[in-house]
């Protein structure tokens, strides 16, 4: 049998991280955490099955970095407090025991906090005021979730929240973190909103 993509099954390296092949599972929010973002048995079983699938690295879903405005949706995984570490440690153990390495995607929802309405309340925090003719504005109005421009101090807090969440990921045994800078989340909002 001819192997069409022989490189795919060869070991690879990302920085210092050694991978058994070049198959990486992209991060996908599965909404299986508790309402306050803690790991559940169901969430662990999901990632165990994925690790058994043979990918070298699982990038665990967008995980909110604070308990303020970074949440994007209900039952989203969190890394916003040290109380999240024990559950995240069980998750990395389950992934490692099934042959894959584990990365955590850390994330701030920015304007896409609206995805979580009506389960999440409080404003979406964004880099600058959102004009009322923005295509998302009718959704905000419908859910009473107002987008608010971040202050300089709040931006500093979010930077610290990302760094603290990365340290928690490391303490929980993750091999890597990925910073979510796409799909309309906060970091992308700084480039284009």
Ligand X SMILES: Cc1cc2nc3c(=O)[nH]c(=O)nc-3n(C[C@H](O)[C@H](O)[C@H](O)COP(=O)(O)O)c2cc1C
Catalytic residues: 185
Does residue 182 belong to the site contacting ligand X (CB under 6 A)? Answer: yes
Instruction: Write out the DSSP string of 107-133.
Output: E--GGGGGGGTTT--S-EEESSPPPTT
Q: How far apart are CA 25 and CA 104, in angstroms?
A: 12
**Binding positions for ligand X, 81-100, rule CB under 6 A:** none
Q: Are strands 176-179 and 147-149 parallel, antiparallel or unpaired?
A: unpaired
Q: Report how far residue 168's alpha carbon sits from residue 155's, in angstroms, rounded to the nearest whole number.
A: 20
What are the φ/ψ torsions at residue 154 (nearest 5 degrees)?
-65, -35
Provide the 10 A C-beta neighbour count for residue 45: 12
Confirm or reject binding of residue 27 to ligand X (CB under 6 A): yes
Binding-site member from 77, 166, 180, 193 for ligand X (CB under 6 A): 180
Instruction: Give the integer Cα–Cα distance in Å for 59 and 27.
Output: 5
In the complex, the smallest distance separating the C-beta of residue 75 from ligand X, rounded to whole angstroms, is 12
Residue carrying the six token digits 């990395």: 92
User: Considering beta carbons, is residue 137 or 188 the nearer one to ligand X?
Assistant: 188
Residue (29 or 103) nearer to ligand X, CB: 29
The distance of closest approach from Cβ of residue 87 to ligand X in the complex, given in angstroms and rounded to an integer, is 18
- Does the protein bind ligand X through residue 61 (CB under 6 A)? yes
Using CB under 6 A as the binding rule, the residues of this chain from 91 to 150 that contact ligand X are 105
The least distance separating ligand X from the CB of residue 24, rounded to whole angstroms, comes to: 10
Cross-strand partners of 105:
62, 178
Which of residues 10, 11, 17, 26 is near ligand X by CB under 6 A? 26
Q: Which residues form the interface with ligand X (CB under 6 A)?
A: 26-29, 61-62, 105, 180, 182-183
């Amino acid at each position: 049998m001819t192997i069409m993509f022989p490189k795919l099954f060869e070991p690879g390296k990302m920085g210092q991280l050694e991978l058994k092949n070049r198959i990486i599972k992209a991060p996908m929010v599965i909404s299986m955490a508790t309402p306050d973002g803690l790991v559940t048995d169901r969430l662990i079983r999901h990632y165990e099955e994925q690790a058994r699938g043979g990918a070298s690295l699982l990038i665990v879903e967008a995980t909110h970095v604070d308990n303020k405005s970074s949440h994007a949706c209900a039952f989203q995984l969190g890394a916003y407090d040290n109380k999240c570490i024990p559950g995240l440690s069980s998750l990395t153990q389950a992934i490692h025991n099934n042959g894959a390495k584990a990365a955590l995607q850390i994330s701030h929802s920015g304007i896409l906090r609206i995805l979580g309405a009506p389960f999440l309340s409080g404003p979406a925090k964004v880099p600058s005021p959102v004009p009322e003719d923005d295509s998302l504005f009718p959704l905000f109005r419908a859910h009473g979730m107002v987008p608010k421009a971040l202050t300089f101090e709040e931006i500093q807090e979010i930077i610290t929240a990302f760094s603290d969440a990365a340290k928690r990921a490391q303490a929980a045994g993750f091999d890597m973190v990925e910073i979510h800078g796409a799909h309309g989340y906060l970091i992308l909002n700084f480039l284009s909103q």
